[in-house]
Amino acid sequence: MDGIHDVGGMHGLGRTMTPHQGPPFAEPWEGKAFALGALAGRLTGANLHAFRHAIERVAPAEYLSGYYSRWLLGAQNLLTDSGIVSSEEIAARAARLSGREADEPPSPEPNKPTMASGGPGNLRTLESPPAFAVGDAVRTQNLHPVGHTRLPRYVRRRVGTITAVQPAQVFPDHAAHFLGEDPQHVYSVEFSSAELWGPGAEPFSLTIDLFEPYLERAE
Amino acid sequence: MTAAQEHIDPALRVEALMSLLTERGLIDQATVENLIKTYEESVGPMNGATVVARAWTDPEYRARLLADGTAAIAEMGYKGPQGEHIVVLENTPAVHNIVVCTLCSCYPWPVLGLPPSWYKDPAYRARIVREPRRVLAEFGLDLDPGVSVKVFDSSSEVRYMVLPERPEGTDQLTAEELAALVTRDAMVGVAKVTTP
């Protein structure tokens, strides 16, 4: 989806934070939010790709309000999608925990997704050979799916060069929607900064790992 | 729009969710606390620093690490979530590699732990793929114009870790002493390793 999460190259997001040391969780609730997200897949029958998409679906203002806020709302999206808890139950429980009266609505009917798994993790072995080889010129497709994708906007319709063939992997665009693993070959594709950002760009190269369905051969 | 995302303070939202899930027997306190403790204490950039220090002091290990990062890192006992396939990028006087995940915040957990706040910040994710030299200069790292800058956007399950350059004047140091110099920032590629 062309959402708030797809920030590569965007202007106007403010100054970059200077790297600094700090604990993994700035406040105790962040650690609990992390744990809830980490456990949400098992509780809901979802997968990593569905979790990423659940975070992408968080409303933009909430998305930008902080990492563990969006992570927590993403976990909540998975839990409500699967009928483990409802948003109304969460709102009512939050009200009661803060000392207000609230009727607790009945729990929803669980509705967990089912999708056959080809094994643990996301790396898979494919019998079909990769369509592209190191050194090939490829063009990224002009895809704008309404669902999950790992082809960011800033590399669409661009010409780059394959620099590595990576292990084949579960296809996020399908797995996030429980349509099946549909494993695909994955390639590291290198783009020049001028191809991405025009002739005034800083000199550098950008490498990104892209799934075969995102690519076509370039002349 | 999904979920009734009317504003509830996140600390309260967590408590509401934990309370509902606990009373249904779906999660328990011990599991939650273990997860938090693991990433607070056991899995963090000290793991990656140990890998880097060994690569600096053991040429055969360095070669294995650059050829098959996942296996060489597993040799040191580091594996787990977000580490299915780790590629190690070697920084040299001529090439400077930097890692980002523009679409979320993918990061090599087994070697670096959970990502720091600045790495997850939309501004870093937006700018580092567009003006990396300027961002690094703001961070205090001015790269010579002759150095090739290579930015890696982690968009699949491949995870990247930078093998920084060993600083000069450290020939006498042990691997343990070297590991103490290696920072998280250097293993993401936004800093160099320096001596005190």
Tokens of A84: 């483990």
Predicted confidence (pLDDT) per residue in A157-181, tens digit: 999 999 999 999 999 999 999 999 9
Range of the domain at B27: 10-41
Same domain, B53 and B29: no
Q: What residue type is A203 in one-letter code?
A: P
Tokens describing residue B195 = 């001596």
Cα distances (Å, whole numbers) of residue A95 to A71, A88, B13, B14: 21, 11, 10, 13
Asked if B30 and B51 sit in the same domain, the reply is no
Q: Looking at the domain assignment, is residue B1 inside a domain?
A: no
Catalytic site residue B104? yes
Report the distance separating Cα A22 and Cα B41, nearest Å. 13
Which residues from A are below 8 Å from B3, CB to CB? 73, 76-77, 80, 87
Q: Say if residue B68 is in the same domain as residue B143.
A: yes
Domain-located, residue B99: yes
Count of domains observed in chain B: 2
Q: Which residue, among B189, B60, B179, has the nearest Cα to B124 in the 3D structure? A: B189
Domains and CATH numbers, chain A: 1-114 (1.10.472.20), 137-217 (2.30.30.50)
Kindly report the length of chain A: 219
pLDDT per position as a tens digit, B136-153: 999 999 999 999 999 999
**ipTM reported for the complex surpasses 0.95:** yes
Closest CA to B96 of B138, B55, B142: B142
Q: What confidence tens digit (pLDDT) does each residue in A51-78 have?
A: 999 999 999 999 999 999 999 999 999 9
Chain B: give the shortest CA distance to residue A150, in Å. Answer: 6
Sign of CA dihedral B58, B63, B69, B72: negative
Q: Is residue B116 part of a domain?
A: yes
Chain B positions in Cβ-Cβ contact with residue A85 (cut-off 8 Å):
17, 20-21
Task: Provide the token pair at B113.
Answer: 């732990």
Cβ atoms < 10 Å from Cβ of A30 = 24
- Same domain flag for B28 and B61: no
Are residue B87 and residue B153 in the same domain, yes or no? yes
Q: What is the dihedral of CA A176, B188, B116, A207, to 10 degrees?
A: -30
Q: Is B125 close to A43, i.e. CB distance below 8 A? A: no
CATH of the domain at B141: 3.90.330.10
Sign of the Cα pseudo-torsion (B176, B180, B184, B185, in order): negative
What is the tens place of the pLDDT at every residue in A3-32? 999 999 999 998 898 998 889 999 999 999
Specify if B64 maps to a domain: yes
B195 in any annotated domain: no
What is the distance in angstroms between the Cα of B104 and the nearest Cα belonging to chain A?
Answer: 7
Task: Tell me whether residues A204 and B149 touch, CB distance under 8 A.
Answer: yes
